Amino acid sequence: MGARKKRAPRRGSLGFSPRKRASRLVPRVRSWPDVDIGKPVPLAFLGYRAGMTHVFMVDDRPGRPTSGKEIFVPVTIVETPPMYVVAVRLYGYDPNRGRYSLGEAWAQPPPELELHRRISTLGSFDTDKMLKSLEEKLEKAVDVRIIAASQPKLAGGLSKKKPDLLEVKLGGVRDVNQLFDYARDILGNLVKLRDVFQEGQLVDVIAVTKGKGFQGVIKRWGVKELPRWHKHRKGSRRIGARSHGRSTFWETPQAGQTGFHRRTEYNKRILMIDDDGYKVTPAGGFLRYGVVRSTFAMLAGSIPGTPKRPIVMRWPIRPPEWYLKLGVRKPEITYISLLSKQGV
């Protein structure tokens, strides 16, 4: 019987371990960038993945072989209805306990938001009294955040009524008092996508990937299948040995949960923001989604998740050097494919 080679390259990144199911469908943003643009701005926005198509645009990246020429770009459409700001929250910091909440102020949500579907103990709020209590604690505050609720009823491809809640940090300036004044002004009002991002800007996309259930080591880790010899009575779609016999190494590829993982993809460029969803809806609508009826964002490339999945777009936490040097530039799109995706 032939001998297999004694060494093989590492299969699958250990940086994403443990590969377990995401704890929530709407991901919580764990890290926030330090943004200083001279005015307060929310640093994230929530949308719903509609589908993919392709466009032709003029390559505006200097130094590329295709610079100034028309190029083909696959794009992902994310429908982003306006979000309703339901609460303001202050955070303090203590070296021993870390970041902690100082309190929050809630606005009385409108009935059409149907926030009671998400919060069962929703009652009446004295917003002015809550805001006054927060003002007294403003000296201890180091961070101002808002709690925004999405409006899935305005999205064309969704049938649910229950809004999704997202805690969003306010940035743009370093003065906490200025951030609190901005939060008080938008409390109980709508925030649109253009209030957060602009065309040509880079964003980080945080989402939960498509779930694939329990899979073996070949699909899950990409290990090589063993040759199908007649003496392989124990199978070929498996690893040779999990350990040396005394204990099991956690680094050894094993079968388990595949997909439905929380993932972050960095530096996706927004090519277009528009309120007319019919500009990007293909003939017959997007597969498993339908027609885009609200504000949408067109992102270059692909993003994690399935159609209808909540997508969190955040200001870039590690933008590349060329982006910091050139700044935000609106791309020139010459063609948007509206061909039917049926049978693709």
Per-position DSSP letters for 116-144, written without gaps between them: GGT-TT-----HHHHHHHHHHTGGGEEEE
- Token look-up 């990007």 returns 280
Instruction: Identify the pLDDT of residue 120.
Output: 82
Average pLDDT over residues 265-287: 96
Q: How far apart are CA 32 and CA 55, in angstroms?
A: 31
**Residue 1: pLDDT band with limits 50, 70, 90:** very low
Q: Which of 20-29, 77-86, 167-176, 237-246 has the lowest mean pLDDT?
A: 237-246
Q: How far apart are CA 270 and CA 75, in angstroms?
A: 9
Q: Residues 300, 266: contact at Cβ < 8 Å?
A: no
Which pLDDT tens digit goes with each residue over 248-268? 888 999 999 999 999 999 999
Give how far Cα 182 sits from Cα of 138, 175, 253, Å: 14, 11, 50
Which pLDDT tens digit goes with each residue over 107-157? 999 999 999 999 887 778 899 999 999 999 999 999 999 999 999 999 999
**Residue 82: pLDDT band with limits 50, 70, 90:** very high
Q: Residues 299, 269: contact at Cβ < 8 Å?
A: yes
Average pLDDT over residues 327-340: 95
Instruction: Identify the pLDDT of residue 194.
Output: 97
pLDDT at 344 over 70: no
Domains of the chain in sequence order: 41-210+259-336 (2.40.30.10)
Average pLDDT over residues 82-87: 97
Which pLDDT tens digit goes with each residue over 56-73? 999 998 889 999 999 999
pLDDT at 294 over 50: yes
Tell me the pTM.
0.94
Instruction: Identify the pLDDT of residue 339.
Output: 95
Identify which has the larger pLDDT, 29 or 238: 29
pLDDT at 174 over 60: yes
**pLDDT averaged over every residue in the chain:** 93
Tally Cβ neighbours within 10 Å of residue 129. 9
Instruction: Identify the pLDDT of residue 7.
Output: 78
Average pLDDT over residues 204-216: 97
**Residue 231: pLDDT band with limits 50, 70, 90:** low
Tell me the pairing of strands 202-208 and 262-274.
antiparallel
Average pLDDT over residues 3-30: 89
Instruction: Identify the pLDDT of residue 230.
Output: 66
